Amino acid sequence: MSAKTLLSISGLHKAFGGLIAVNQMRFDVHEGEIVGLLGPNGSGKTTVMNLISGALSPNEGKVVLAGRDITSLPVHAISHAGIARTFQLVRILHDLDCIENIEAGLAFRPGPLWGDAAKSAAITLLDRIGLADHAHTSAGDLTYIDQKRLELGRALALQPKLLLLDEWLAGLNPSELQEGISLVRKLKSEGLTIIMVEHVMDAIRSLCDRCVVMNAGTKIADGPPETVLSDPEVIRAYLGDSHA
């Protein structure tokens, strides 16, 4: 692959007491790629996302973004370095409207925006994520998919190089799922690099350039979705021995 490496993780190890949640994980993400991080429940995916975003520090190993070692930097420094994320449980400011939610994000990016500049950037961003008609709607009054869009907008307000989506498509009905997939595809077409933890196989197949699969903290596969999803070791990890 000729694209430049944006993120490189190597030898990443995280234990919680006696439980090894992430065991010598390593993978690269190239600029402009969507990489799916897959694996059965409890395999360590969210812990990897937390180690990349700085919510947790590894016991060993390195996280390198665009050639810079960002391992164990505090969350705000990693965010300034160019990584933003969404969470399994949507995090938005329910009592504020959509513009205010985005403005709160814009205040935390490198080169923060305030006042009229923030308002105008917020309106542009709401349009980009399909919320132009809800600028003055309270976040708490939005439908579930629109709350997800707004959380994504708050992450994009930080102008990330790398976006981490943690089950961003979970819980959507079939038509919302297609809308969500289209939005992620649009972000990729704009040049954003994305790691997505996802269980929705249609989304993985249609969006991911590559999938990294974990089982019990360890990487068991890394390759194009069609190859990885038919790998007997991956099928065994998800479904048990009888299906492999």
Ligand X SMILES: Nc1ncnc2c1ncn2[C@@H]1O[C@H](COP(=O)(O)OP(=O)(O)OP(=O)(O)O)[C@@H](O)[C@H]1O
Residues contributing to the site for ligand X (CB under 6 A): 16, 19, 21, 39, 41-47
- Cβ proximity to ligand X: between 29 and 156 the closer is 29
Least distance in angstroms from the C-beta of 41 to ligand X: 3
CA atoms of 153 and 44, how far apart (whole Å): 26
CA atoms of 153 and 102, how far apart (whole Å): 7
CA atoms of 111 and 105, how far apart (whole Å): 12
CA atoms of 241 and 188, how far apart (whole Å): 36
- Cβ proximity to ligand X: between 21 and 208 the closer is 21
Helix (H, G, I), strand (E, B) or coil at 177: helix
Neighbouring residues of 152: CB distance < 8 A, sequence distance ≥ 6:
86, 129, 165, 168, 183
Would you give the distance in Å from CA 214 to the centre of its chain?
Answer: 16
Least distance in angstroms from the C-beta of 44 to ligand X: 4
- Cβ proximity to ligand X: between 46 and 193 the closer is 46
- Cβ proximity to ligand X: between 132 and 239 the closer is 239
Pairing of strands 34-38, 193-197: parallel
Least distance in angstroms from the C-beta of 214 to ligand X: 7
Please give the C-alpha separations between residue 211 and each of 22, 28, 37, 182, 222, in angstroms, as whole numbers.
Answer: 17, 11, 6, 19, 6
Least distance in angstroms from the C-beta of 212 to ligand X: 12
Least distance in angstroms from the C-beta of 162 to ligand X: 18
- Cβ proximity to ligand X: between 131 and 168 the closer is 168
Q: CB count, 10 Å around CB of 234?
A: 22
- Cβ proximity to ligand X: between 97 and 166 the closer is 166
Closest CA to 110 of 73, 78, 149, 86: 78
- Structural tokens at position 168: 């961003």
- Cβ proximity to ligand X: between 19 and 244 the closer is 19
CA atoms of 105 and 119, how far apart (whole Å): 12
